Amino acid sequence: MQLYNTLSAKEREKLIEEAGKDRLTISFYQYAHIGNPKILRNHLFIAWNEMEVLGRIYVAHEGINAQLSVPAENFEIFKAHLDSITFLENVRLNIAIEQDNKSFLKLKVKVREKIVADGLNDNTFDVTNKGIHVGAEQFNELIEDPDTVLVDMRNHYESEIGHFKNAITPDVDTFRDSLDIIEADLAEHKEDKKLVMYCTGGIRCEKASAYYKHKGFKNVYQLEGGIIEYTRQVKANNLENKFLGKNFVFDHRRGERISDDIISNCHQCGKPCDTHVNCANEACHLLFIQCEECAKAMDNCCSTECQEIHALPYEEQKKLRKGKEVSNKIFKKGRSPVLKYKN
């Protein structure tokens, strides 16, 4: 019984190219009580591997959080499988605005403590007492209300390339960091202002809205389905789009263009740019914004030091990395002294 990937990312990429079939990039989440997350994890991996699903899925006692891609021809089979699982029946699926057949190259289903790393003790407040969910039309009306405070619940590198106009965009590295900062900044307006929040697909706002109601905020709203569902509704119902720039996404695309506005700049030369890349030096892998000219001049690296390492033979690079810890924990996304034009 296969419970792990047998192909590398490069091997999978080649197979996708050879197949020439369209894939759909999808995200969804659901809070539910799961008695044995490991059993569910194994069940999902076996079933979805057969359907050629690729992606990153977190399963915990509190529910599931999934970002994945599936061959378009297998979508109905995949949807039927979701509906066969009681707590996932008719779950809302956020279909990507811009499709890319290589958005994911491996199937990773992991058991985690939580489906979002919020750092909260759920036993201290009622996580089911959420804010009011609003669709795109009502959201547009709310954010024009002078008594509304609009808050972006995402991290700095996400809001840097795109956000709703007039939104507060906390300069934070993690979702947990933003919770206390926002509460402190808005402490005087817990009763007289409408707190309206949004994120990529809605999951961060589910817990945040309940947390802020617990903290005494009287009028709490959240954008149903996040930026992804907002954009779908705007297009479907011919509504005014109030989102500026790109929506950052957590797959190989790194972003979906929502409007033509470019609100950020290249971190190396300062010219308008909103293209996120990872440093080509595998010992670095820093996430930053880089224009085409700088990518060419710097060999897709974030610094001359990384450029020199990247130019070495691969085996020599491996020797330099040996014994050194490389993970997202030690390389802050979008923050480094080598990035001269990072705001």
Active site includes 199?
yes
Taking Cα atoms as reference points, which of 64, 131, 121 lies closest to residue 91?
64
63: which 2 tokens? 């529910």
Rounded-to-integer distance, Cα 11 and Cα 17, Å:
10
Rounded-to-integer distance, Cα 341 and Cα 337, Å:
10
Taking Cα atoms as reference points, which of 27, 18, 223 lies closest to residue 139?
223
Element (H, E) at 18: helix 9-19
User: Which runs of consecutive H residues, i.e. helices, occur in 67-107?
Assistant: 75-83
Annotated catalytic residue: which of 199, 284, 301, 302? 199
Helix (H, G, I), strand (E, B) or coil at 264: coil
With beta carbons less than 8 A apart as the criterion, state whether 307 and 298 touch: yes
48: which 2 tokens? 């979805």
Burial (CB count within 10 angstroms: exposed 0-12, middle 13-18, buried 19+), residue 327: exposed
The number of C-alpha atoms within 13 Å of 287 and in the hemisphere containing its C-beta is 25
With beta carbons less than 8 A apart as the criterion, state whether 284 and 320 touch: no
Active site residues: 199
